[in-house]
Amino acid sequence: MKRFAWNGITARYPALFALTLLILSLFINFLLQPNLFARDTLNSNMRVFLPLVILAAGQAVVILGGGIDISLGGIVSIVNTILATRVGLEGSPEAMWQYAAISLLVGILAGALNGFFVAYLRLQPIITTYATSFLFAGLALFILPNPGGGIPTSISELYRSSVPLGLPLAFYMIAVILLVWGYIRATRYGNFLFAVGGKAQAAYETAVPVTTIQFSTYVISGLMAAFSGIAITMLSGSGNAEIGSAMTLNSITAVVIGGTALSGGVGGVAGPMLGAITLGFLQNIISFADIDTWWETLAKASIIVAALATPGLINLIRRRRT
Amino acid sequence: MKRFTISPPMAALVLAIVLFLLSGLLPNSYGSDAKIAISQATNIARLAVFLGVIAAGQTLVVISGFEGIDLSAGSVVTLTAIVTYVYVNGADEKVFVALLLSLAVGALIGFLNGIGITFLKISPFVMTLGMSGVVTGIVIILNHGNVSGKVAPIMTRVIARPVSASIPIPGAIVIWIIFGILMWLLLERTSYGKYLFAIGVNRVTAKLSGVNVTGMNLLTYALAGALAGFGGFLLVGNTGVVLISLGQPYLFPSIAAVAVGGTLLSGGKGSYWGSMAGAILLTLMTSLLTTMQMPESVRRMVLGATLLVLISIYGRQRALRQ
């Protein structure tokens, strides 16, 4: 009886685990940083988390559709290097928005390349996007071999300290993504997406355009990666070709924490976005816990592995009990 | 007319030879001097040894199927290289223990990968990528800025120097040939090899036929880790110095080498001879790009594009329409 209830709850609310973990990490964070909920602290945290939150949403769409995108970090890097080299520290805001639009196009193109290989040539998603991640990372390094460049300070200030109606800018962005997702989820496309991710063969037999749906998920994730790249550039204000490399695994971890199954077809986008915020707070704890700098990489990596392992661990314990 | 077919390992080898002959036309290459050409070819083969050994573990996990891959190989190489360097500290008599230590450390990390993949159901790509971060964290702690140690003279003599004055073949190549024969025996002449191909083709039928799939999976990842550890031991014997980024550059080529050799990335089919040929081809490509003074960015893009082309040839999956 108890098992039934637990199953029902986790199936209906896949974000529950992320939410529990979020509350826990918030609480520990609050102990370490008592002014956590002050407007400025909240804003300074959320603006750091936002790039990963956007990326996790993109990753979640691909994973829901039964794929995975390892090249997202590479796309983030490309966008960052394009903005940092083309706009420049002395650039005008108009140039910034112009190149931001171009970046979105680049993201869509990069995603379309992934989608072409995975959906139309039927290659394995993991290895294909791993190969393109090298392509993209190389391209980013080609555009900007050494860290440098930048965007106008006025633009990064706009991102860093806008608090419309007293709420951090990131909250509005997250709300927009959730609204768009809510709309997509209710359309026919949303149903198709879950069908393809659940069982592509069955979806094909019931006349779902499987190839088109798979292709579209990579285009969406590429676009989200471009948005994430714009956000992280506005946050850092400078260019670095390696900026996105660590974000790929983080985005996958956020999806796992968020209760969206890597096998596809189960979950949503809200959970992974919560997962990304949780991951941000967990890494915050490490920064605040006064750990020796030499140990920081290990601590952060261990948290990632622990987060990846937890859903499996819960499953294992649950199966043992019954 | 009989259709002309060529096996992937042969194709890779032929391509490597053609590429090497063509490279003679480059302005700063060997030109028409046969003696320099031979020494250059030997040198490339010697460099290919390290990639070849690291690709051995990769071959095993890829054959085992279920999207098997080991992304922790690069950081394991760095770790065991540092362990060897620090432990041996110039003493010949400690070399054998250092070798065992390298194998054990690698096997332990591989075993942990196996646990995560088999019991916690984390996808191999994500699990080993996460583990790679953890191992890098350990490397950073061990390294602490710089390590003091020394390679033993016997390691340099056996690995880096020619076998004897009359035989100008470096010891590493001899080690590799013996290693290759052992790998062939393991894959083709032991029950382990038979089971490995069986679980790679179909886990369910393998299990029903009495193969211990869980045990095989754990063993394979542990073996792959141990082989990467062996790679680190050999590599430090050749370079004589350790760097924090010693192993990482071998990771992507090791996967590409496996793919070049015709081992199916979806598992169940492949050979170590293929990976050896692939290692030679990829080492040649990298060294040619270096000779042509191509920057790191171009090298990455070429590697990424190579893998993309290869999987487009070998790795296409079944169409949905039967």
pLDDT at B149 over 90: no
- Are residues B98 and B84 in contact, defined by beta-carbon separation less than 8 angstroms? yes
Mutate to test the interface with A, among B134, B144, B298 (most CBs of A within 10 A): B134
Is the per-residue pLDDT at A213 higher than 60? yes
Contact B307 A134 (CB under 8 A): yes
A 10 A CB-CB count for A244 gives 30
ipTM of this model?
0.85
Out of A127, A134, A316, the one facing B311 most closely (by C-beta) is A127
Note the pLDDT tens digit of each residue in A34-49: 887 887 888 888 899 9
The continuous run of DSSP H or E covering A294 comes out as helix A293-321
Per-residue pLDDT averaged across A299-307, rounded?
88
Rounded to 5 degrees, φ, ψ at B170 are -60, 145
Instruction: Find the range with the poorest average confidence among A81-85, B75-79, B143-147, B267-271.
Output: B143-147
Verify whether the Cβ–Cβ distance A123 to B119 is below 8 Å: no
Q: Which residue of A has its CA nearest to B255?
A: A127
Taking residues A204-228, what's their average pLDDT? 92
Kindly report the nearest CA distance between residue B133 and chain A, in angstroms.
5
Task: Tell the burial category of B86 from Cβ atoms under 10 Å away from its Cβ (0-12, 13-18, 19+).
Answer: middle
Using a CB-CB distance cutoff of 8 angstroms, which residues of chain B are in contact with residue A309? 116, 120, 122
Q: Do B126 and A128 touch (CB under 8 A)?
A: no
pLDDT (average), residues A154-175? 85
**Which of B61, B128, B129, B264 has the highest number of chain A CBs within 10 A, making it the mutation to test binding with A?**
B129
Backbone angles phi, psi at B162, to 5 degrees: -65, 155
Spatial separation of the C-alpha atoms in residues B5 and B3, rounded to whole Å: 6
Cα A154 to Cα A168: distance, rounded to the nearest angstrom: 17
- Picking from B126, B130, B265, the nearest residue to A124 by CB comes out as B265
Number of other residues whose CB lies within 10 A of the CB of residue B33: 12
* Minimum-distance CB partner of A304 among B125, B133, B305: B133
Residues of A in contact with B267 (CB under 8 A): none
Let me know: does A140 contact A79? Beta carbons within 8 Å: no
Q: Which of A134, A139, A305 sits opposite B130 (nearest CB)?
A: A305
Q: Would you list the DSSP string of B255-275? A: HHHHHHTT--TTSS---HHHH
Contact residues on chain B for A211, CB-CB shorter than 8 A: 320
pLDDT digits (tens, 9 = 90+) for B37-53: 888 888 899 999 999 99
* Cα B70 off chain centre by: 10
Q: Given an 8 Å threshold on Cβ–Cβ distance, is B137 in contact with A135?
A: no
Q: A33 near A202, Cβ under 8 Å?
A: no
- Name every chain A residue with its beta carbon within 8 A of the beta carbon of B302: 138
Tokens of A9: 């709850």
- CA nearest A125: which of B125, B303, B113, B55? B125
In angstroms, the CA A235 to CA A233 distance is 5
Compute the CA torsion angle B84, B90, B91, B96 (nearest 10 deg): 30
Helix extents (H) in A162-209 = 169-186, 188-198, 200-205
Residues B202-221, mean pLDDT to the nearest whole number = 93
What contacts B276, CB < 8 A, 6 or more positions away? Answer: B9, B48, B52, B55, B176, B180, B261
Whether A123 and B311 lie within 8 Å, measured CB to CB: yes
pTM (2 d.p.): 0.89
Distance, CA of A296 to CA of A299 (rounded, Å): 5
pLDDT for the residue numbered B283: 93
Q: What percent of the residues of chain B are helix, what percent strand, and what percent coil, each to the nearest 5?
A: 70, 0, 30
> What confidence tier does B145 reach under pLDDT thresholds 50, 70, 90?
low
Task: State both tokens at A155.
Answer: 């633009």
Per-residue pLDDT tens digits for B253-277: 999 999 888 888 888 889 999 999 9
Return the SS3 of B162. strand
Q: What is the pLDDT of residue A2?
A: 47
Residue A4 has pLDDT above 60, yes or no: no
Kindly determine whether residue A145 and residue B297, on different chains, have CB atoms separated by under 8 Å: yes
Q: How many CB pairs under 8 A join A and B?
A: 151
Backbone angles phi, psi at A239, to 5 degrees: -110, 145
DSSP, collapsed to helix, strand or coil, labels residue A239 as: strand
Interatomic CA distance for residues A55 and B294, integer angstroms:
32
Q: Do B125 and A68 touch (CB under 8 A)?
A: yes
Q: How far apart are CA B61 and CA B131, in angstroms?
A: 15
| Cα separation values, B110 from A51, A126, A232, B60, B101, Å | 32, 20, 35, 12, 14
B71 near B251, Cβ under 8 Å?
yes
Nearest-by-CA chain B residue for A314:
B120
CA distance A213 to A119: 9
Query: Which of B260, B299, B300 to mutate to probe the A interface, most A CBs <10 Å?
Result: B300
Q: How far is B117 from chain A (nearest CA, A)?
A: 9
DSSP annotation of A38 reads S
Alpha-helical segments (H) within B209-295: 213-239, 251-260, 272-291
Residue A1's pLDDT band, with cuts at 50, 70 and 90, is very low
Residue of A nearest to B69 (CA): A127
Please give the Cα distance from B255 to B228 (Å, whole number).
Answer: 13
Nearest to B122 among A127, A128, A308 (CB): A308
| Residue from A130, A133, A146, A314 to probe the interface with B (highest B Cβ count within 10 Å) | A130
